[in-house]
Chain A
Amino acid sequence: MFSFHLLLNVIVAGILLGGFYAAVSLGITLAFGLLNVVNIAHPAFVILGSYAAFVVNSRFGLDPILAGLLFMPVFFLLGIGVYRIYYASFEKRAEESLRGLVFFFGIIFIIEVSLSLQYGVDYRSVHAAYVGDSFRLGPIELAFRLAIPCAMALVLTLALHLFLSRTFYGRAVKAVSQDHLALRLMGADPVRIKGLAFGIAIATASLAGALLIMIGPVEPSIGREYIGRVFAIAVLGGMGSIGGTLVAALILGVLESLTSTFYGPSWALAVSFGILLLVLAVRPSGLVGRAG
């Protein structure tokens, strides 16, 4: 039986889910869209963020979101470190495409296996007083478990947008994506700026990971499911556009929510990967993207 009430709730849940997807995808938009660093290990860093939040939450009872924020500087430094290695080993020698990809593929494995060696392959979750609650807005039921991650994701998206458009370093990041050589001629150091931007991209993974483990339990290999999603979103969003990322993430969230309610959860994953294949095959420049 078709019910408008159900449909409305499913769409709202999809929007909330989509907002969260934006948080996971921002790092890819930054690294892949603007810096041209194909960090397929980004979802693995998100899972690392989830486990960081889990450890702090279970040991000290700290709020998961606070934990996610606290770990951001650590992830920022980690990101800079990874970029340094990446730059010295691949980018400097102009070998980034093939080997750089394999490098990140190896990092996925290292993170995943290290986590499962340390914490096992069981599902882990966090505890916070508000996680199980929900509130009503007319006919719509909003679960805090989804609404708070979505709100945090929107804050993160806005912050990143403001950073890129208003601050000196943010503009420098955009500049480095447009013209590497010109930036160097202006006396700026592209490598330092790219390292900074990559650090920020990985720092978003810390918060996104905390949000992920709030939405549902996490195990080490769950990040693989997000590889397709984040790239679908980054490509659909037009590669490097923060606004485009948010729109694409919301579209994907709603589509997945509809699919999993009306066709079954086992199909939901195929939606994002199917869209990714379709977008890549038909319009690689995305919805709002630059051509080429």
Chain B
Amino acid sequence: MRGRALLAVAVALVVLAVALTRLSANQYYYFAAYVIFQYVVLATAWNILGGYTGYVNFGSAGFFALGAYTAAILIKAFPVPFPVLLLAAGTVGGLLGLSLGYLTLRLRGVFFSIATLALAVVLQTLIVNWEYAGGSRGIYTMRPATVLFFDNYVEFLFVVMLILALGALATARWIEHSRLGRGLAAIRDNEEAAECMGVPTLRLKLVAATVSGALMGIAGAPFPYYVTYMEPASTFNLDYAVNSLAMPMIGGATTWVGPLLGAVLLGTAQQIATVTISSALNLLIVGVVLVAFVILAPDGIIGLVRRRRGGRHA
């Protein structure tokens, strides 16, 4: 699994995207694929801190919503071009991630996770009480009438999210194979030992938290245009938090392939379940599958595959 795997994934996703645009005029497929790609970004971002470093972030929804609200407020305030939204949401998310990174200085393990949960709620309260951002009533965003090269705006957003997903995967893969990734793995296995061996643990954790936060923020940036109306309760929804950690845990949290696998499988299953059964039931499925996986297959699907291969060799 070198660069070829990533290339294969990129080709597969692009082919899937083109196939969708050619095969069907049904807008629903764009919406569904957008949501799945969005989860690929969120799951990959979560995994950079959670999977590589072992710090479980329950506040993904907060980062995502912060990115979405940054974009929505910018759109409301100035007529900004689209890339600026991504940049701004990434910066804000990254800064929040950085401050979360400093929190790891004092808080290890569960205390860190509880703090991230608290962080998301505090952010939500701030938005609810912020009149300009729409408060609890929510905020409307108008889509621009036209975009270059695209027939309609949903197609454009879909391509944007596809590119973001590929970007996030490439980032994760790069981190994994760099010195940074090895340092993070050392922190995950034993932080004290890593520090004693001269791994600059704080700096690495700060980088991981910042990159993770920035990616989650960026994932939220196109959200105002996607939904056109958002309010705090649904934007800060805990579903984002549970999905962005369930997907890597189910796929396998130690490689960049795991979150991708989890996001595509779980995301597709949820889209199908939402249409055919009910949206409440699809969350129940996520919960049950998540619990089953952490109990029975702690290393996710990747771990299951590896164990089977290892068994054959032994």
At the interface, yes or no: A243 with Cβ under 8 Å from chain B?
A: no
Partner-binding segment picked from B66-74, B138-146, B259-267, B286-294? B286-294
- Chain A contacts with B in 92-144, Cβ cutoff 8 A: 95, 97-99, 101-103, 105-110, 113-114, 116-117
A277 touches B115 (CB 8 A): yes
Q: How far is the CA of A106 from the CA of B119 in the complex (A)?
A: 20
A277 touches B110 (CB 8 A): no
A101 touches B56 (CB 8 A): yes
At the interface, yes or no: A9 with Cβ under 8 Å from chain B?
A: no
At the interface, yes or no: A85 with Cβ under 8 Å from chain B?
A: yes
Most chain B CB inside 10 Å of its own CB: which residue of A105, A114, A117, A228: A105
Q: How far is the CA of A284 from the CA of B106 in the complex (A)?
A: 8
Contact with B along A269-288 (1 / 0, CB 8 A): 11001101100110010000
- The residue that B284 contacts in the complex, of A114, A235, A270, with Cβ under 8 A, is A114
Q: Number of residues in A with C-beta < 8 Å to the partner?
A: 42
A276 touches B103 (CB 8 A): no
- Chain A contacts with B in 5-40, Cβ cutoff 8 A: 38, 40
At the interface, yes or no: B298 with Cβ under 8 Å from chain A?
A: yes
Q: How far is the CA of A231 from the CA of B116 in the complex (A)?
A: 12
- Chain B contacts with A in 252-273, Cβ cutoff 8 A: none
B287 touches A276 (CB 8 A): no
A269 touches B121 (CB 8 A): yes
Closest CB in chain B relative to A120 CB, distance in Å:
9
Q: How far is the CA of A102 from the CA of B126 in the complex (A)?
A: 27
* Chain B contacts for A225, CB-based, 8 A: 121
B107 touches A284 (CB 8 A): yes
At the interface, yes or no: B18 with Cβ under 8 Å from chain A?
A: no
At the interface, yes or no: B184 with Cβ under 8 Å from chain A?
A: no
A89 touches B287 (CB 8 A): no
* Chain A contacts for B249, CB-based, 8 A: 99, 102
Closest CB in chain A relative to B298 CB, distance in Å:
6
A85 touches B290 (CB 8 A): no
Q: How far is the CA of A267 from the CA of B298 in the complex (A)?
A: 39
- Chain B contacts with A in 52-107, Cβ cutoff 8 A: 54, 56, 58, 103, 106-107
A107 touches B115 (CB 8 A): no
At the interface, yes or no: A173 with Cβ under 8 Å from chain B?
A: no
- Chain A contacts with B in 225-253, Cβ cutoff 8 A: 225, 227-228, 231-232, 235
- Chain B contacts with A in 154-204, Cβ cutoff 8 A: none
A103 touches B125 (CB 8 A): no
Closest CB in chain A relative to B85 CB, distance in Å:
27
B280 touches A117 (CB 8 A): yes
At the interface, yes or no: A224 with Cβ under 8 Å from chain B?
A: yes
At the interface, yes or no: B109 with Cβ under 8 Å from chain A?
A: yes
Smallest CB-CB separation from B290: which chain A residue? A106
Closest CB in chain A relative to B271 CB, distance in Å:
17
At the interface, yes or no: A266 with Cβ under 8 Å from chain B?
A: yes
B111 touches A280 (CB 8 A): yes
Given contacts A97-B110, A276-B118, contact A109 B242 (CB under 8 A): yes
* Chain A contacts for B207, CB-based, 8 A: none
Q: How far is the CA of A270 from the CA of B127 in the complex (A)?
A: 11
Closest CB in chain B relative to A47 CB, distance in Å:
14
At the interface, yes or no: B304 with Cβ under 8 Å from chain A?
A: no
Q: How far is the CA of A61 from the CA of B58 in the complex (A)?
A: 40
* Chain A contacts for B283, CB-based, 8 A: 109, 113
Most chain B CB inside 10 Å of its own CB: which residue of A38, A109, A110, A116: A109
* Chain B contacts for A97, CB-based, 8 A: 109-110
- The residue that A109 contacts in the complex, of B121, B284, B294, with Cβ under 8 A, is B284
Additional A-B contacts beyond A109-B286, A266-B125 (7; CB < 8 A): A38-B110, A231-B114, A264-B129, A266-B128, A269-B121, A273-B121, A280-B118
Q: In the A-B complex, list the 5 residue pairs whose CB atoms are closest, starting with the nearest.
A: A109-B287, A270-B125, A106-B291, A106-B290, A273-B118
Q: List 26 A-B contacts (CB under 8 A).
A: A40-B114, A97-B109, A98-B56, A101-B56, A101-B110, A102-B245, A102-B246, A102-B290, A103-B291, A109-B287, A110-B291, A113-B280, A113-B284, A116-B280, A117-B284, A221-B238, A228-B117, A264-B129, A269-B125, A273-B125, A277-B115, A277-B119, A280-B106, A280-B114, A280-B115, A284-B107
> Which residues of B pack against A, CB within 8 Å?
54, 56, 58, 103, 106-107, 109-111, 113-115, 117-119, 121-122, 125-126, 128-129, 136, 238, 242, 245-246, 249, 278, 280-281, 283-284, 286-288, 290-291, 294-295, 298
